[in-house]
Amino acid sequence: MARSFIAEGDIVIERALVAGFTLRSVLVAARRNRALPAAIDAAIPIFAADDAVLTEITGRPELRDPIANFDRPELPSAQSLLEQHNTFAVLEGINNPNNLGVIMRNAAGLGIDAVLLDQTCGDPLYRRAIRASMGQVFALPHARLDPLPHSLGLLHDHGIETIALTPQGDQELSGLVTQPRVAVLLGAEGPGLTGETIAACTHRIRIPMSADVDSLNVAAASAIAFHHVAETHR
């Protein structure tokens, strides 16, 4: 995996800096006439490029927002996060960067302590995922898990109830358990969680739907579930 990542936009760059990430350089359009975020150190190289150069670098002739190059940090271990936190989102196969970023933003905004991603998930520090999260990915601890469902044993060993969010759930969201340590599991848009993972979870929860709609977008479903976790643990 690359040892750096790209963050785009003034707010996102500023949030990365506030979170303590190391900035290496910034690319801006030569025509930009607004000041860059004040948090950018004066010693950081700022490269201003015209449309032809921007097209070669980014594929876009116009660059409305600055693009910053940051050092990629080492991820914590899943074990360390399980020892430090109580509420988790566990993601399986979520590789759409927009869904991934919005889930990270929802988790940060609705009180989930940390996110655990299996090996088939996308990169939370991919540019589009970062932008979709509005930089909230920087404030939320995350780590990689060994393949599911085997790695659920690690969560269960730490006394964490695992809640599979699935349209085939045998409990409604209103019946979400209120144990102090819980993890909400979410699968990729379309296929959802694998059957093996669902079977290995402590609980199988569904969101009641109206009319002929069978499910919600995974990012929307995550917000509902995370809010319910926050309410039951408040």
Q: What is the DSSP string of 60-120?
A: -S---S-EEEEEPPPPPPHHHHHHH-SEEEEEES---HHHHHHHHHHHHHTT--EEEE-TT
- Sequential pLDDT tens for the chain (234 residues): 558 999 999 999 999 999 999 999 999 988 888 899 999 999 999 999 988 888 888 887 777 889 999 999 999 999 999 999 999 999 999 999 999 999 999 999 999 999 999 999 999 999 999 999 999 999 999 999 999 999 999 999 999 999 999 988 888 777 666 788 999 999 998 889 999 999 999 999 988 888 788 788 999 999 999 998 888 776
Q: Say what the pLDDT of residue 230 is.
A: 87
Residue ranges, CATH 3.30.1330.30, the chain: 4-71
Q: Say what the pLDDT of residue 171 is.
A: 82
pTM listed for this prediction:
0.91
Residue ranges, CATH 3.40.1280.10, the chain: 78-232
Q: Say what the pLDDT of residue 196 is.
A: 97
The CATH architecture that domain 78-232 belongs to is 3-Layer(aba) Sandwich (3.40)
Q: Say what the pLDDT of residue 2 is.
A: 59
The CATH H-level (homologous superfamily) assignment of domain 4-71 is Ribosomal protein L30/S12 (3.30.1330.30)
Axis-axis angle for helices 218-232, 97-109 (nearest 10):
10
